[in-house]
Structure 1
Amino acid sequence: MKPGNDRLARRVEQQAKRMQRAERERPTLLAQTVYLGSLGLMFILPVVGGVYLGHWLDEQLAGYSMRWTLSLLFLGLLVGAFNVYWMIKSHE
């Protein structure tokens, strides 16, 4: 064989192995669904927790107020967005 043919054969073999490995390691539909569900929970749980805690705190104070509810809602949104960002960055 000529040296050029030998290099070409090695490159084709490497690419074939890479394609086979990519096919084996491709995430399944179930794995993708679990990942998206986890992202959703990581966003929603701080929001719901913040609203629940804020509502409870507002009920403990005299008079009608939504100060704690709204404040902890926005804090939950920030925490949830950070959680999603962090999970996506760490998953790459």
Structure 2
Amino acid sequence: MPYRDKLSKHTRRDIERLKNKAFRPATWIGILLYGGTLGLLFVVPIVAGAYLGRWLDTLASGYSVRWTVSLIVLGITVGGYNVFRFLRDRT
């Protein structure tokens, strides 16, 4: 019986903490980490596309930026989709 009382006491305390957390403003560190995560989700596909496209363009004879531009545009699309999904799942 004392375990049940202790469990219900801790459960009530945890529920109150969760309720109070929703009303607290975000901290600067939390905002920076959130923004940094969004930035990485957007920038990494663009940079990867640029490097892959540049490498593919060096394999072609002559001067070409076809692959570089195409994969940068694809990276922007993928990065935007990553950010969209991240924000959708967080709300």
TM-score per shorter chain, which class?
0.7 to 0.9
Could you tell me which residue of structure 1 aligns to residue 82 of structure 2? 83
> What are structure 1's unaligned runs of at least 5 residues?
1-16
- Supply the AA of the counterpart residue of 1:71: S
User: Once the 2 structures are TM-superposed, how far is the Cα of residue 27 of structure 1 from its aligned partner?
Assistant: 2.5
User: Once the 2 structures are TM-superposed, how far is the Cα of residue 32 of structure 1 from its aligned partner?
Assistant: 1.2
1:45 aligns with 2:44: yes
Distance in 1 of aligned mates of 2:75 and 2:66? 14
Distance in 1 of aligned mates of 2:75 and 2:38? 14
4+ residue runs of structure 1 moved beyond 2 angstroms? none
User: Once the 2 structures are TM-superposed, how far is the Cα of residue 28 of structure 1 from its aligned partner?
Assistant: 1.5
Could you tell me which residue of structure 2 aligns to residue 35 of structure 1? 34
> What SS does structure 2 have at the residue aligned with 1:64?
coil
> What are structure 2's unaligned runs of at least 5 residues?
1-15
User: Once the 2 structures are TM-superposed, how far is the Cα of residue 56 of structure 1 from its aligned partner?
Assistant: 0.5
**C-alpha deviations, 1:31-55, integer Å up to 9, x for none?**
1110000000100000010001000
Larger CA Rg, structure 1 vs 2: 1
The alignment's TM-score, normalised by the length of structure 2, stands at: 0.74
> What SS does structure 2 have at the residue aligned with 1:78?
helix
Q: How many pairs were matched up?
A: 74
